[in-house]
Amino acid sequence: MDYLMGLIDSVIRDRQLAQLAFVALMAITVFCLALAGMYLMSTMFSPVRSRLHTVIAPDAEDKPRRGPLTPLFRAMSPYVLPKKEKERSRTHQRLIHAGFRNDNALSNFYAIKTLLILGLPLMVFFGLRWIPGLTTMQVVQAVAAAVLVGAIGPNYVLGKMIERRKRRLYNGFPDALDLLVVCTEAGYGLKPALQRVADELVVGHPELSDELALVNTEIRAGVDKVDALKNLADRTGLEEISGLVTLLSQSLRFGTSTAESLRIYSEEFRDKRMQRAEEAAGTISTKMVFPLVLCMFPAFFVVAIGPAIVGLLDHFKVY
């Protein structure tokens, strides 16, 4: 850093301009690095590149995809995975709810978490050395905050991904349920009905379509229908889908009409959605109290009472 400043001083001959030039060079360097990283990520995960790879080597589509960091994560997995089986199973279940069904998802998650815990504080520590005027205590606090972010950040991001995926599944579930009712009442069996619904939802709700197609694939592979439906409930983690799976399992076990059971469940689900909407509407008045008190009422009082107060002040000044 001092060497670069000396070079710039020897060229510009002005300390203030040299500092500005140094900051500009650092900004350009950071911008170029960020641009190069974005270009690398875009080319690594480009859909055009994957499509060309599929066209050139169609047999490679069935093989498991491996990222550039997969060997590193696989080498780190024996050291980063927790020892408790309960914690590993719980994290694996959360990864499945987020849509990561790969065998290496658990090891990749803990490897990324470990790299963030170790790498983020180092980046903050060496980055703060370029900022003058910081005390040792401030640097230590920043490094501790980086460690905290590296430890909590992956879990937070995973939780947000689970919520977003569950919301998408929940939004597509009423359409899938209505289509199932129509297909079963038209004479379809459970397996053709699931396949037809999966084909119809592939554009509007691709996550739910993939889950239903996976259920149909498991049934065709020889898995029992009840077990395949239970796997669907475990993968999604939605209470509504768990209720549907329980209903279909009982219908298959006791030999009752699947179409009639789905019709009853559809009506009950519609009533539950209406009750949930009414409950959400009932809480709007309470939620609007704080914005009204903090934002609307001060402006209203200024507009309504402000002119009168100004007039009174002018009156007392005159007399």
Residue range 69-82: average pLDDT? 60
Q: In sequence order, what DSSP letters do the residues of 256-293 get, joined into one string? A: --HHHHHHHHHHHHHHHHHHHHHHHHHTHHHHTHHHII
pLDDT value at residue 72: 55
pLDDT value at residue 127: 80
Single-letter amino acid code for the residue at 309: I
Is residue 25 scored above 80 in pLDDT? no
Residue range 177-194: average pLDDT? 87
Tally of structural domains, the chain: 2
Q: Which of 60, 78, 95 is the last residue of a domain?
A: 60
Residue range 285-292: average pLDDT? 84
pLDDT band at 56 (very low <50, low <70, confident <90, very high): low
**Rounded Cα gap, residues 265 and 271, in angstroms:** 10
Q: In sequence order, what DSSP letters do the residues of 179-228 get, joined into one string? A: HHHHHHHTT--HHHHHHHHHHHTTTT-HHHHHHHHHHHHHHHTT--HHHH
51: containing domain: 1-60
125 within some domain: no
Residue range 198-225: average pLDDT? 88
The fraction of the chain above a pLDDT of 90, given in percent, is: 4
44 within some domain: yes
pLDDT band at 79 (very low <50, low <70, confident <90, very high): low
How far, in whole angstroms, is CA 41 from its chain's centroid? 18
Is residue 85 scored above 90 in pLDDT? no
Is residue 296 scored above 80 in pLDDT? yes
Of 37-51, 82-96, 215-229, 291-305, where does mean pLDDT reach its minimum?
37-51
Considering only residues 75 and 243, tell me which one the structure prediction assigns the higher pLDDT. 243
Q: What does the pLDDT look like over 221-280, one tens digit per residue? A: 888 888 888 888 888 888 888 888 888 888 878 877 888 888 888 888 888 888 888 888
**Rounded Cα gap, residues 176 and 169, in angstroms:** 10
Single-letter amino acid code for the residue at 210: D
Q: What is the mean pLDDT of the chain?
A: 79
pLDDT value at residue 60: 43
pLDDT value at residue 12: 64
**246 close to 239: Cβ distance less than 8 angstroms:** no
251 within some domain: yes
Is residue 61 scored above 50 in pLDDT? no
157 within some domain: no
Is residue 284 scored above 80 in pLDDT? yes
How far, in whole angstroms, is CA 228 from its chain's centroid? 26
145 within some domain: no
Enumerate residues 6+ apart whose C-beta is below 8 A from 12: 18, 21
Is residue 160 scored above 90 in pLDDT? yes
pLDDT value at residue 77: 59
pLDDT value at residue 53: 54
Q: Which of 60, 77, 106 is the last residue of a domain?
A: 60
266 within some domain: yes
CB atoms within 10 A of CB 12: 15
pLDDT band at 156 (very low <50, low <70, confident <90, very high): very high
Please report, for the chain, how many H helices and E strands are present, in that order. Answer: 15, 0
Enumerate residues 6+ apart whose C-beta is below 8 A from 116: 149, 150, 151, 153, 154
**Rounded Cα gap, residues 205 and 176, in angstroms:** 9
**139 close to 128: Cβ distance less than 8 angstroms:** yes
What does DSSP assign to residue 66?
-
**245 close to 233: Cβ distance less than 8 angstroms:** yes
**Rounded Cα gap, residues 172 and 312, in angstroms:** 62
248 within some domain: yes
Q: Is the model's pTM score more than 0.75?
A: no
Q: What does the pLDDT look like over 163-176, one tens digit per residue? A: 999 999 988 888 88
Of 4-8, 66-70, 145-149, where does mean pLDDT reach its minimum?
66-70
142 within some domain: no
How far, in whole angstroms, is CA 19 from its chain's centroid? 42
Considering only residues 36 and 159, tell me which one the structure prediction assigns the higher pLDDT. 159
pLDDT band at 295 (very low <50, low <70, confident <90, very high): confident
Is residue 57 scored above 60 in pLDDT? no
**Rounded Cα gap, residues 188 and 79, in angstroms:** 51
